Amino acid sequence: MNTNELAAHWMPFTPNKGFKAKPRMLTGAKGMYWTTDDQRQVLDMTAGLWCCNAGHGHPHIADAIAQQARTLDYAPCFGFGHPLSFELSERLAKLAPGNLNKVFYTNSGSESVETAMKMALAYHHAQGNGGKQLFIGRERGYHGVNFGGISVGGLTNNHKAFGQWIPNDHLSHTQDLELNAFSRGLPLHGGVEKANELEKLIKRHDASRIAAVIIEPITGAGGVLPPPLGYLKRIREICDQHGILLIFDEVICGFGRTGDVFASQTFDVVPDIMTTAKGLTNGAAPMGAVLAGDHIYEAVVEGAGSGVEFFHGYTYSAHPLACAAAMATLDVYEQEGLYQRGAADGEIARYLEQGLHSLKGLPGVVDVRNYSLIAAVEFEPRSGQPGATGGLIQTAAWEQGMMLRSLGDAIAMSPPLIIEKQHVDQTIGILERSIKQHF
């Protein structure tokens, strides 16, 4: 395609001018590989945008979407329903931990976050605590791009032009290179101390004003930061002590990324509300789902009079094609054993861990961190160009046939859960060459 043909599309989260001068065009995908417009095979080490957990082009998922399009292409979900969304909800509730038994559908992770935040406000309102309106997020947290999400998110670029309009405060991020550099699995040090910061924020604002704490069990887009040991449990304890809801944003972590269906199972901490998207449909159809605890639903829905109880929803909530994609995706995860395949102590996660940590000692590498099948390598910032190194390594890898995510001075990996040892070997080889090219 020539430059004129690229002009009309304003691309999201993309340096548009850079892309249009040198496009990276994907034309097909199968299993672990993309096909590009110049017929190269590119290894997908990111599962797209952390979403194609079963690999690309799975025939069971493709067939389910095609068949659904011919049977019931659309059904409004305000006051009407279709059976598939109820079947899917029952299935998700069975997979979820604790009492997360009520499922509300959205079309994306961002919409799941907004929905979860509104649920928290509606819950407190229903209980006569309408003053609880403030949300606590975390530095380097990413919760999508809508106004709630950027208020609780902790990535400055995402809100500096737009503001943070929902009352908010933020916990510190959990990275500590002095204590925990080159951690394999969960960082060992400082977890409880970091979590105790929440008590300071509660003192600052008072629990009577705080609706919820929202965090990713593993910070993803903010740099892949697995929670230090004890951190999540301590956050849960403090929330319970103060009547503050806990929302886990599992948009990346859900559906096998941590070796269980959900990270809350891996880390044995059950939130009050959980957001999901991405892996729910293997990326093959836009869909998110918010799983709410029974207590949330009971307060908001059972406790209300007749009529609409929760004034919220989307034209495409529970879209039939997305429901079909999700049902088929869950079949694939189950049939191919993918939820557990990437477990932190499993063969493939250990192999990736070993390979990545072998990069320690290469020039410019200041950290390698990983949990299960999510990992990052961090580099020294270049003088005068902080935040540029990840992009340089990403480009070098792309030119050698591998897709990575660049996150400032780090690169992140979250491969499809079908990854094999040969793909890890290919990854380490390309990474080594790319690092040597730039340092």
Nearer to ligand PLP, 277 or 332 (CB): 277
Q: Which of 149, 342 has the CB closer to ligand PLP?
A: 149
Tokens of 324: 């079909």
Q: Which of 46, 53, 89, 108 binds ligand PLP (CB under 6 A)?
A: 108
* 116 near ligand PLP, judged by CB under 6 A: no
Q: Smaller CB distance to ligand PLP: residue 226 or 364?
A: 226
Part of the chain binding ligand PLP (CB under 6 A), chosen from 103-111, 295-303, 324-332, 407-415:
103-111
Please say which residue, 113 or 368, places its beta carbon nearer to ligand PLP: 113
DSSP E strand boundaries for 281-433 = 288-293, 365-371, 374-379, 402-403, 405-407, 410-413
Q: Kindly write down the DSSP assignment for every residue of 44-99, as one continuous string.
A: ESSHHHHT-TT-B--HHHHHHHHHHHHH-S----SS---HHHHHHHHHHHHHSSTT
Q: Which of 293, 290, 280 is CA-nearest to residue 314?
A: 290
In this structure, what is the dihedral angle of CA atoms 371, 108, 47, 27, given to the nearest 10 degrees? -170
Which of the ranges 55-63, 102-110, 186-194, 368-376 carries the binding residues for ligand PLP, by CB under 6 A? 102-110
Q: How far is the CB of 218 from ligand PLP (least distance, A)?
A: 9
Pick from 68, 85, 110, 264 the residue near ligand PLP by CB under 6 A.
110
Q: Which one among 64, 198, 214, 251 touches ligand PLP, defined by CB under 6 A?
A: 251
Answer yes or no: are the C-beta atoms of 396 and 390 closer than 8 Å. Answer: no
Asked if residue 143 binds ligand PLP (CB under 6 A), the reply is yes
# residues near ligand PLP by CB under 6 A: 15
Residue 150 binds ligand PLP, judged by CB under 6 A: no
Window 203-232: residues binding ligand PLP (CB under 6 A): 216, 220-221
> For 340, phi and psi rounded to 5 degrees?
-95, -10
By C-beta, is 183 or 276 nearer to ligand PLP? 276
| H or E element, residue 296 | helix 294-297
Which residue's C-beta sits nearest to ligand PLP?
Answer: 109
| Interaction between residue 114 and ligand PLP (CB under 6 A) | no
Beta carbon nearer to ligand PLP, 107 or 427: 107
96, two tokens: 């979820």
Closest separation between CB of residue 110 and ligand PLP, Å? 3
Nearer to ligand PLP, 143 or 236 (CB): 143
Site string for ligand PLP, 260-279 (x = CB under 6 A): -----------------x--
CA 198 – CA 207 distance, rounded (Å): 11
Sign of CA dihedral 42, 46, 52, 55: positive
> Min. distance of Cβ 268 from ligand PLP in angstroms?
20
Footprint of ligand PLP on 123-142 (CB under 6 A): 142
CA 13 to chain centre: 16
Query: Looking at beta carbons only, is 86 or 165 nearer to ligand PLP?
Result: 165
E-assigned strands of 346-423? 365-371, 374-379, 402-403, 405-407, 410-413
Give the C-alpha separation, 124 to 130, whole Å.
6
Interaction mask 20-49, ligand PLP, x per CB under 6 A: -----------------------------x
Residue nearer to ligand PLP on the CB measure, 50 or 435: 50
The DSSP result for 18-33, as a single string, is HHHHS---EEEEEBTE
For residue 331, give Cα distances in angstroms to 71, 147, 257, 291.
20, 34, 16, 19
Q: Which is nearer to ligand PLP, 113 or 396 (CB)?
A: 113
Q: How many CA atoms lie within 13 A of 349 on its CB side?
A: 24
Q: Are 288 and 276 in contact (CB under 8 A)?
A: yes
Please identify which residue in 54, 113, 134, 323 interacts with ligand PLP, judged by CB under 6 A.
113
Applying CB under 6 A, the residues found at the interface with ligand PLP are: 49, 108-110, 113, 142-144, 216, 220-221, 249, 251-252, 277
